[in-house]
């Protein structure tokens, strides 16, 4: 998400000199984008004064919407995550073959989470998390990526291909199997070659499906 820097003179104003609704939203987008970028670069040390200066948004505008810096950081991270997760939409039908569907989604998930900006944010977030536990807890409690994975897995559960059980825990296990080692490697030594990355992904999905795939004897037991 880019952080368009807005000059105060360019703001559109409505009757009484107040910003129009569209202009207020434009300022808000600029504010959240700049906040996220500065958090990635400076962490908790990014000040409201610097955020205001670089976004071109007045502090009165900021404090009218957010009680404190933690609330602003949470909103900025959630907006950025929502924009990123939006690239993984499930608008097209998932493949009928559950293994191919999980692998295809996993490849898209790796491209998202192993992007250099995503890795830079993760490094900063974990380095700073002990300083603001409320922000860290909000990040994990409202993980939009897990919500999308639940939707994807639910599709295959509805088709009778997998047992979902505890949906959130199953989605978290899927994410760990897909992302865990590749992301650690990418953060330490760089992303693996595509052939090795796919080999690792397919092995992970075999392991995942061994735990939740619906088998013929499951149908037999359920029909008794």
Helix ranges (DSSP H) in 86-215 = 98-113, 116-128, 133-141, 144-158, 167-188, 194-212
SS3 143: coil
Sequence-distant contacts of 82-90: CB under 8 A, at least 24 apart: 82/144, 83/1, 84/112, 84/118, 85/112, 85/144, 85/145, 85/148, 87/112, 88/112, 88/145, 88/148, 90/148, 90/151, 90/152, 90/155
* pTM confidence score: 0.75
In the chain, count of helices (H) and strands (E)?
A: 11, 0
Predicted pLDDT of residue 10: 45
Nearest residue to 52 via CA among 25, 70, 72: 72
Domains 8-72 and 89-223 share a fold: no
> Contact at 8 Å (CB) between 73 and 124?
no
* CATH 2.40.128.20 assigned to 8-72: no
Q: Domain spanning 89-223: which superfamily?
A: Tetracycline Repressor, domain 2 (1.10.357.10)
Q: Which residue has the higher pLDDT, 86 or 115?
A: 115
Residue % of the chain over a pLDDT of 90: 50
Evaluate if residue 1 carries a pLDDT over 60: no
Stretch 111-128: mean pLDDT: 88
Say what percent of the chain tops pLDDT 70. Answer: 86
Mean pLDDT of the 209-214 span: 91
Spatial contact of 19 and 65, defined as CB atoms under 8 Å apart = no
What pLDDT does residue 5 have? 40
The pLDDT-based confidence of 83 (bands split at 50, 70, 90) is confident
The encoded tokens of residue 66 equal: 């957010």
**Residue-level pLDDT at 8:** 41
Tokens describing residue 199: 């080999």
Per-residue pLDDT tens over the stretch 23-71: 888 889 999 999 999 988 888 889 999 999 999 999 999 999 999 888 8
DSSP code of 224? -
Taking 60 as the threshold, does the pLDDT of residue 194 lie above it? Answer: yes
* Digit-coded pLDDT (tens) for 173-186: 999 999 999 999 99
Write the CB contacts of 124 (distance below 8 Å, at least 6 apart in sequence). 39, 40, 41, 43
- CA atoms of 65 and 170, how far apart (whole Å): 36
Domain segments of the chain: what residues?
8-72, 89-223
- pLDDT value of residue 132: 72
More confidently predicted of 8 and 127 = 127
Reading phi first (left if > 0) and then psi (alpha if -120 to 50, else beta), residue 137 is in alpha
Task: Render pLDDT for 132-167 as a digit per residue (tens, 0 to 9).
Answer: 777 677 777 777 889 899 999 999 999 999 999 999
Average pLDDT of the chain?
A: 84
């Amino acid at each position: 998400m880019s952080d368009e820097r807005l000059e105060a003179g360019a703001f559109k104003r409505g009757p009484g000199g107040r910003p129009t609704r569209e202009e207020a939203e434009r300022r808000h987008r600029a504010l959240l984008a700049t906040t996220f970028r500065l958090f990635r670069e400076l962490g908790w040390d990014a000040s409201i004064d610097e955020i205001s200066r670089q976004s071109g948004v007045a502090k009165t505008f900021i404090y009218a919407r957010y009680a404190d810096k933690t609330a602003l950081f949470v909103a900025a991270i959630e907006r950025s995550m929502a924009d990123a997760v939006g690239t993984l939409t499930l608008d097209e039908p998932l493949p009928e073959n559950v293994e191919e569907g999980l692998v295809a989604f996993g490849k898209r998930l790796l491209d998202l989470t192993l992007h250099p900006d995503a890795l830079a944010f993760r490094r900063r977030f974990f380095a700073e998390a002990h300083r603001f536990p409320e922000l860290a807890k909000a990040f994990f409690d409202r993980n939009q990526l897990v919500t999308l994975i639940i939707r994807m897995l639910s599709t295959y559960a509805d088709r009778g291909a997998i047992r979902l059980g505890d949906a959130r825990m199953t989605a978290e296990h899927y994410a760990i199997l897909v992302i865990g080692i590749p992301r650690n490697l990418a953060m330490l030594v760089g992303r693996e070659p595509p052939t090795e990355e796919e080999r690792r992904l397919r092995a992970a999905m075999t392991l995942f499906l061994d735990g939740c795939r619906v088998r013929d004897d499951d149908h037999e037991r359920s029909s008794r």
